[in-house]
Amino acid sequence: MNYKIAIISPTEASDVLADTIFDGLLTLRKTFPELSFYIPKEHNYITPLHLSDHELSTEDFVRYAESADLIFLMFSKRFTNFALAEKINRWNKTIYIDGSELGKNRRYDSTIQKMVLDGTFDGNGRINTEMVEKCILYFRREKPYIKSIIPLPFGIESRYQQEYSKDIKKDIDFFCVFGQDEYPQMRKHARDLVKDFCAKNNFTCHTEVTEGFNFDAGKKSGRNEFYRLLARSKVGISIGGGGYDTSRFWEILGNNCVLLTENIDIYTPDSNALRYDRIHQFTNIYDLDYQLKKLGAFLKDEYSQDNMGGEYDVIVKKHSSVSRVMMILEEARVKKLII
């Protein structure tokens, strides 16, 4: 796998989907050291990952991109470097990786959803119709997947599993921690409901993390404790924020937890990609209360940590950051961009 991949990273910014792809590439290189990828050093891309060995000056990066097998153009709100992609001008090798989201409560707004579909929406999370036309492939984190757009949600990054091992004792029943709970309000209500449910039914739970935990990219404050607690948890609760997809979803699965999540709207409606016994879904806060009671009974009467391994191994294989990169490469093979 001796591909050369030039990655036009966001400038002075971060993006979770970009980090997922970077993590997958870094992991792949442990098996295939001949695989190479570089980003422009001057972009100062913000990430907790170690990418310093994969940076070139912009001048050297352009030369590298001119002979690269593939070019990944990474989205990040106002910081996507379309100008550099134009300068390189190899659109027949350029793959757009769109990690955008509608933000705030817009994903619940049917008017905005309709505008996204008909191409009249001009805010965050819109489909970039110019990139649809110019790029040889277009991957997107969020629905809708119209025209030739291919679904590419977040995945299980290696750092999500930094505190997990199969021998760790699962002694926390419920884990319900979010980065922000302003959007949507269901997050705050869910956290309060979980705290109340656990207190009334003698379950252990964590709904906050100490040590000044900070979800901002590149900041490690409290992350170790977050993953230590999640690794010890039996059930994790996930609710999307400004997008349908969220890191919490994949962090929970990556730590071998039962996942209690709002109705999954990540892939297409007919997809079987996330049909697993450990995933339980709820529609609203009342349904969440019902599902908590069901899972409470399951934890008391049926849960066995020893029985969690087989499905976990399948999930990690199919939804790791490596699997996301491999999916991009496979689609590139279909397009005969690489062999």
Q: Are residues 147 and 57 in the same domain?
A: yes
Q: Are residues 22 and 104 in the same domain?
A: yes
Helix (H) or strand (E) holding 187: helix 186-201
Residue 339 lies in a domain: no
Q: pTM, whole model, 2 decimals? A: 0.95
Q: Are residues 120 and 130 in the same domain?
A: yes
Q: Are residues 9 and 92 in the same domain?
A: yes
Locate 267 and state its tokens. Answer: 């892939």
CA dihedral 290, 292, 294, 297 (to 10 degrees): -140
DSSP assignment of 89-141, as one string? --GGGEEEEE-----TTGGG-HHHHHHHHHT---STT---HHHHHHSSEEEES
pLDDT in tens, the chain (339 residues): 999 999 999 999 999 999 999 999 999 999 999 999 999 999 999 999 999 999 999 999 999 999 999 999 999 988 999 999 999 999 999 999 999 999 999 999 999 999 999 999 999 999 999 999 999 999 999 999 988 999 999 999 999 999 999 999 999 999 999 988 889 999 999 999 999 999 999 999 999 875 545 555 445 556 888 999 999 999 999 999 999 999 999 999 999 999 999 999 999 889 999 999 999 999 999 999 999 999 999 999 999 999 998 999 999 999 999 999 999 999 999 999 999
Q: What CATH number should be reported for the domain holding residue 88?
A: 3.40.50
Q: Are residues 210 and 227 in the same domain?
A: yes
Locate 67 and state its tokens. Answer: 């002979």
Q: Are residues 239 and 137 in the same domain?
A: no
Structural domain range at position 243: 159-319
